[in-house]
């Protein structure tokens, strides 16, 4: 295992053993992302193009698109999310096993985009935590591939073993703007407390 | 025989006014109470076999507030006709035409969803596009574009979901 | 003896009944009529309600279908649409005539330029404008390319649902080539927004024309490849033939248009019957089916792609002849002046300001429909003489196609649902608006 190098800064904070475990776990996770293509509208077609022959997402280990949320760890919200669809989207997110990441593809899912209307969710972070936002209407497949590479870098920085020792993992939720501000930093799956839900303690939670 | 002549002949005995719309199409206006008879006559006597759309125009605050527009196509004669009927804004309702053209069922449901116009006799008249339980009719002119509490139904569902989840009590204690 | 899978009584007690009823079950598969089901027979069990969608690979978008199943048979089918309802019509009312162009792309996002054209044609009808011949020709070229793009998606997704995964890659590599062409011409892969009132935004470069011609020359061979893959394929044939049969009367009653109507043998194509954009000058044929099943609709779409190639080639010939001619009507009430003139001419600056802030259309109503890849796509516009419409109704062919699902699916096997959904061919962006 001579070629395994821990990420910078890890060794000084925790023990060498823990960092190596983190590194191996992250290495496995980032190179086998299984996307859950939540193709809602126009961006769904570009998502298909990304999986298709020219752009070929298989080069980055993320070609195993599964339509069952139970088999996925990367949710790509591609397109306009409406309030009617929001229930289903949240349900799909809850059904995905931990650890899971979310890419908001296109301006509609990032912020509501051009649809400032009565039926559209103004950004998918109103209902679930998002790791990466990709602008564009729709973004080119290259942009989404770039997002997946950035997500891989983000996964590299996570500390799953340390989080197992520390305990709770939640995303940050702002009740004023009714938005998720920060996606969770994933630990090793445990039962119970790691479920990503907005905290409801007084002062922090939703009213 | 021109389209207009055919339409007028089919509508013999039913009061109607011929309109001159901007696009030069054949358009007539009839009373809301005679809609089923008039449209049945158009189908049976003038050969308009396909419904193109059913929609409404909201002329708020003018009265009568709503104009229900029907458009029909005759594949045999290769022409179209538009029919309009005006109905008041207070408890708007008009007779259904789904028994004449079954394909109008969704259009009428959409009209009910968006304008709140009740189609008497429509079996299964419920919202088409907005979720069931939604309070408003979005395409009315007095409804704001950004909506009124657009997330209410989702928040209610979300609260029920979190109440049900057994994992919550553990992490919130 | 696999009768225990029907549910109901425990496996141990049903064995005897099961052996007797197995024969009955097999015959019922062929003589199924929902009204005749004997509810007291324990083997028929209770009806099962199955929820298909809104997130399902075979519904082609966020369509939800509630299906009541008796065994493998669909007793009741109820589509539930609206999961992509973005409030387009309300948006048009609040944005105004001009800015709504961007939103029309996202209606049927498989063929953005077709929607652009339909909206532009309706606006021109309302404004009483003419489009220069070169502008019309470019529009025809773009519309036919869009039609091919939409049919390619139909082929790719339907065949991936029916088990031919390779087709998805075949069709997408062709779609990528069209994307590249449109990228070269318009600067964006999809959602181009390149049509304007009075014509198109910019002229086609000769180099792009050459590229399009090169693509057109090789595309018929690709269609042959698709056909080699599917047309004689036993699985494709069995899963499409005699399934989802629509009679011409049903089509007319359910307001179906486009390839679904033509698949039933009705020769109805707006490009021939009520020509627009100069379609009457092009030489092409309307393919029609014979019995109106899923297979006929597939065959019609394949042939339409070939006809589209013919139209594109003729359009390119016409473009070559009219090179340098005007492609945008210079009507300063509705058409923005060239940017260079705005910087130097006071008058043009005023025109630009007027159009951007307050482009009013005459009072009245207009409806214009085009033959899109799904059927009759129309815009019904009502204007009160201001810059914002009184009403903009989008006549979506997809909504009618969704509406027809129960009529042809009820009583069939559940596995036929995938073929039926695929062959009716709708896009939820357009259905829900």
Q: What is the ipTM of this complex?
A: 0.89
- The per-residue pLDDT of chain C, averaged, comes to 84
Same domain, yes or no: C399 and C265: yes
The answer as to whether A83 is a domain residue is yes
For chain A, say whether C319 makes contact (Cβ under 8 Å). Answer: no
The answer as to whether B66 is a domain residue is yes
The answer as to whether C311 is a domain residue is yes
Shortest alpha-carbon distance between residue C125 and chain B (Å): 6
Question: Tell me: the pLDDT tens digits for C68-90?
Answer: 888 788 888 999 998 989 888 99
Name the residue in chain A with its Cα closest to that of C107.
Answer: A42
Residue that has been written with the tokens 């490009």 in this structure: C271
CA C35 vs. chain centroid, Å, equals 35
* Mean pLDDT calculated for residue range B66-85: 90
Alpha-carbon span B150 to B144, nearest angstrom:
11
The answer as to whether C365 is a domain residue is yes
Question: Tell me: the pLDDT tens digits for C87-121?
Answer: 889 999 888 888 898 899 888 888 899 999 999 99
In the complex, which subunits touch B with 3 or more CB pairs below 8 angstroms?
A: A, C
The answer as to whether C81 is a domain residue is no
Residue closest to C427 by CA, chosen among B53, B114, A42, A140: A42
The continuous run of DSSP H or E covering C211 comes out as helix C206-230
The answer as to whether A148 is a domain residue is yes
Name residues 103-142 of chain C within 8 A of B (Cβ): 125-126, 128
Helix (H, G, I), strand (E, B) or coil at C195: strand
pLDDT at residue A163, as a whole number: 64
| CATH code, domain with A53 | 3.40.50.12280
Question: Tell me: the pLDDT tens digits for C151-173?
Answer: 999 999 888 888 888 888 899 89
Crossing angle between the packed helical segments A16-30 and A141-157, to the nearest 10 degrees: 160
Alpha-carbon span A183 to B21, nearest angstrom:
56
For chain B, say whether A197 makes contact (Cβ under 8 Å). Answer: yes
For the cut 60, the answer to whether the pLDDT of residue C36 exceeds it is no
Same domain, yes or no: C105 and C180: yes
Crossing angle between the packed helical segments C133-161 and C112-127, to the nearest 10 degrees: 140
Q: Which of A90, A116, A119 sits opposite B130 (nearest CB)?
A: A119
pLDDT at residue C310, as a whole number: 92
C-alpha dihedral (A194, A196, A198, A203), degrees to nearest 10: 20
For the cut 50, the answer to whether the pLDDT of residue B40 exceeds it is yes
Name the residue in chain A with its Cα closest to that of B143.
Answer: A118
**Is residue A128 within 8 Å of residue A102, measured between CB atoms?**
yes
The answer as to whether A61 is a domain residue is yes
The answer as to whether C78 is a domain residue is no
Domain range spanning residue B98?
A: 3-133
The answer as to whether A71 is a domain residue is yes
The continuous run of DSSP H or E covering A130 comes out as none
For chain A, say whether C179 makes contact (Cβ under 8 Å). Answer: yes
Q: Poorest-confidence range of B50-59, C67-76, C348-357, C381-390?
A: C67-76
For the cut 70, the answer to whether the pLDDT of residue C24 exceeds it is no
Per-residue pLDDT of chain A (207 residues; tens, 9 = 90+): 333 444 454 444 556 666 777 788 888 888 888 888 888 888 888 888 888 888 888 888 887 888 888 888 888 998 899 998 998 888 888 888 878 888 999 898 888 888 888 989 988 888 888 888 888 888 988 898 888 888 888 888 777 776 666 655 556 677 777 777 666 665 444 444 444 444 443 333 333
Choose between A21 and C400: higher pLDDT.
C400
pLDDT at residue C138, as a whole number: 92
The answer as to whether B70 is a domain residue is yes
The answer as to whether C328 is a domain residue is yes
The answer as to whether A26 is a domain residue is yes
Same domain, yes or no: C93 and C39: no
Q: State the total domains in chain C.
A: 2
Same domain, yes or no: C220 and C345: yes
| CATH code, domain with B52 | 3.30.460.80
Token output for B34: 């005679």
Same domain, yes or no: C7 and C98: no
Q: State the total domains in chain B.
A: 1
The answer as to whether B125 is a domain residue is yes
The answer as to whether B159 is a domain residue is no
The answer as to whether C51 is a domain residue is no
Same domain, yes or no: C211 and C273: yes
The chain B residues in contact with chain C (CB within 8 A) are 21-23, 25, 27, 49-53, 55-59, 69, 71, 75, 78, 80, 82, 101-107, 110, 114, 127-131, 138-139, 143, 145
The answer as to whether A90 is a domain residue is yes
The answer as to whether C101 is a domain residue is yes
The answer as to whether A30 is a domain residue is yes
Domain range spanning residue A60?
A: 10-182
Question: Tell me: the pLDDT tens digits for C187-227?
Answer: 888 888 889 888 888 888 888 999 999 999 999 999 998 98
Cis amide linkage into residue C165, ω under 30° from 0? no
Q: Which of C81, C106, C107 to mutate to test the interface with A (most CBs of A within 10 A)?
A: C106
For chain B, say whether C385 makes contact (Cβ under 8 Å). Answer: no
| CATH code, domain with C279 | 1.10.645.10
Same domain, yes or no: C1 and C100: no
Helix (H, G, I), strand (E, B) or coil at C398: helix
| Nearby residues of C27 by Cβ (< 8 Å), 6 or more positions away | none
Partners of residue C367 in chain B, C-beta under 8 Å: 23, 25, 71, 80, 82
* Mean pLDDT calculated for residue range B77-83: 90
Token output for A17: 């053993």
Residue closest to A46 by CA, chosen among A148, A159, A144, A120: A144
In the complex, which subunits touch C with 3 or more CB pairs below 8 angstroms?
A: A, B
Same domain, yes or no: C31 and C160: no
Given pLDDT bands bounded at 50, 70 and 90, which one contains residue B11? confident
Q: Where are the beta strands (DSSP E) in chain B?
A: 16-19, 27-30, 50-58, 66-74, 79-87, 93-95, 118-120
Residue closest to C381 by CA, chosen among C110, C191, C96: C96
Helices (H) then strands (E): counts for chain A? 7, 6
Domain range spanning residue C2?
A: 1-46
pLDDT at residue B165, as a whole number: 62
Alpha-carbon span A65 to A35, nearest angstrom:
5
**Is residue C325 within 8 Å of residue C132, measured between CB atoms?**
yes
Sheet arrangement for strand A74-78: A35-39, A74-78, A101-105, A132-134
The fraction of chain C above a pLDDT of 90, given in percent, is 20
Q: Poorest-confidence range of A83-97, B85-99, C3-17, C144-158?
A: C3-17
Q: State the total domains in chain A.
A: 1
């Amino acid at each position: 295992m001579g070629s395994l190098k821990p990420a910078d800064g890890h060794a000084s904070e925790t023990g060498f053993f823990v960092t190596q475990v983190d590194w191996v776990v992250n290495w496995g996770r980032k190179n086998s992302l299984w996307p859950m293509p939540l193709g809602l509208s126009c961006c769904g077609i570009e998502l298909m193009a990304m999986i298709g022959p020219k752009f070929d997402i298989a080069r980055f280990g993320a070609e195993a698109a599964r339509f069952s949320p139970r088999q996925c760890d990367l949710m790509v919200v591609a397109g306009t999310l409406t309030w009617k669809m929001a229930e289903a989207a949240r349900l799909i997110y809850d059904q995905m096993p931990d650890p899971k990441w979310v890419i908001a593809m296109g301006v509609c899912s990032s912020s509501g985009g051009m649809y400032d209307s009565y039926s559209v969710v103004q950004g998918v972070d109103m209902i679930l935590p998002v790791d990466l936002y990709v602008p564009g209407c729709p973004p080119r497949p290259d942009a989404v591939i770039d997002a997946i590479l950035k997500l891989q870098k983000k996964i590299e920085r996570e500390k799953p073993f340390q989080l197992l020792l520390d305990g709770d993992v939640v995303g940050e939720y702002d009740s004023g703007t009714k938005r998720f501000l920060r996606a969770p930093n994933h630990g090793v799956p445990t039962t119970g407390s790691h479920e990503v839900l907005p905290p409801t303690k007084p002062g922090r939670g939703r009213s | 025989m021109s389209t207009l002549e055919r339409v007028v002949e089919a509508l013999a005995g039913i009061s109607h006014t011929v309109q001159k719309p901007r696009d030069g199409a054949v358009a007539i206006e009839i009373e809301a109470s005679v809609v089923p008879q008039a449209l049945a006559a158009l189908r049976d006597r003038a050969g308009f076999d396909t419904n193109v759309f059913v929609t409404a125009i909201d002329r708020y605050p003018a009265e009568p507030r709503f104009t229900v527009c029907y458009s029909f196509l005759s594949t045999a004669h290769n022409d179209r006709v538009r029919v309009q009927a005006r109905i008041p804004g207070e408890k708007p309702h008009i007779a259904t035409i789904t028994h004449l053209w079954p394909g109008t069922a969704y259009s009428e449901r959409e009209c009910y969803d968006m304008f709140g116009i009740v189609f008497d006799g429509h079996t299964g008249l419920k919202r088409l596009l907005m979720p069931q339980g939604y309070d408003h009719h979005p395409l009315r002119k007095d409804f704001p574009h950004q909506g009124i509490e657009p997330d209410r139904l989702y928040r209610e569902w979300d609260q029920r979901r979190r109440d049900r989840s057994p994992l919550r009590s553990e992490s919130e204690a | 003896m696999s009768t225990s899978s029907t549910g109901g009584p425990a496996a141990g007690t049903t064995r005897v009944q099961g052996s007797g009823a197995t024969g009955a079950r097999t015959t019922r598969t062929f003589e199924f009529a929902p009204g005749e089901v004997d509810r007291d027979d324990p083997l028929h069990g209770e009806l099962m309600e199955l929820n298909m969608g809104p997130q399902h690979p075979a519904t082609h978008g966020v369509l939800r279908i509630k299906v009541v199943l008796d065994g493998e048979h669909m007793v009741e089918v109820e589509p539930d649409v609206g999961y992509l309802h973005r409030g387009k019509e309300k948006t048009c009312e609040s944005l105004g005539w001009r800015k709504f162009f961007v939103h029309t792309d996202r209606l049927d996002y498989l063929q953005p330029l077709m929607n652009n054209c339909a909206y532009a044609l309706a606006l021109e009808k309302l404004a009483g404008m003419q489009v220069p011949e070169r502008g019309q020709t470019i529009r025809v070229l773009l519309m036919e390319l869009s039609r091919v793009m939409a049919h390619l998606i139909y082929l790719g997704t339907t065949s991936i649902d029916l088990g031919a995964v390779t087709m998805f890659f075949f069709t997408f590599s062709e779609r990528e080539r069209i994307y590249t062409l449109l990228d070269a011409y318009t600067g964006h892969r999809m959602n181009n927004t390149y049509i304007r009132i009075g014509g198109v935004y910019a002229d086609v470069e000769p180099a792009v024309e050459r590229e399009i011609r090169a693509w057109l020359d090789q595309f018929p061979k690709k269609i042959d490849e698709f056909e080699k893959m599917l047309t004689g394929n036993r699985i494709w044939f069995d899963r499409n033939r005699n399934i989802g049969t629509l009679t011409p009367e049903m089509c007319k009653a359910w307001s179906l248009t486009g390839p679904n109507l033509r698949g039933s043998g009705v020769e109805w194509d707006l490009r021939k019957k009520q020509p627009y954009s100069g379609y009457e000058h092009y030489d092409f044929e309307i393919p029609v089916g014979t019995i109106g099943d899923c297979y006929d609709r597939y065959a019609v779409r394949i042939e339409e792609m070939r006809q589209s190639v013919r139209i594109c080639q003729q359009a390119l010939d016409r473009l070559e002849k009219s090179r340098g001619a005007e492609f945008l009507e210079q009507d300063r009430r509705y058409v923005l002046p060239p940017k260079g003139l705005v910087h130097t001419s006071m008058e043009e600056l005023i025109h630009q300001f007027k159009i951007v802030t307050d482009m009013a259309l005459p009072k009245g109503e207009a409806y214009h429909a085009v033959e899109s890849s799904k059927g009759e796509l129309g815009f019904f516009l009502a204007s009160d003489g201001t810059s914002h419409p009184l009403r903009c109704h989008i006549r979506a062919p997809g909504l009618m196609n969704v509406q027809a699902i129960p009529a042809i699916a009820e009583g069939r096997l559940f596995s036929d649902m995938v073929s039926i959904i695929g062959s009716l061919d709708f896009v939820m962006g357009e259905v829900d608006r």
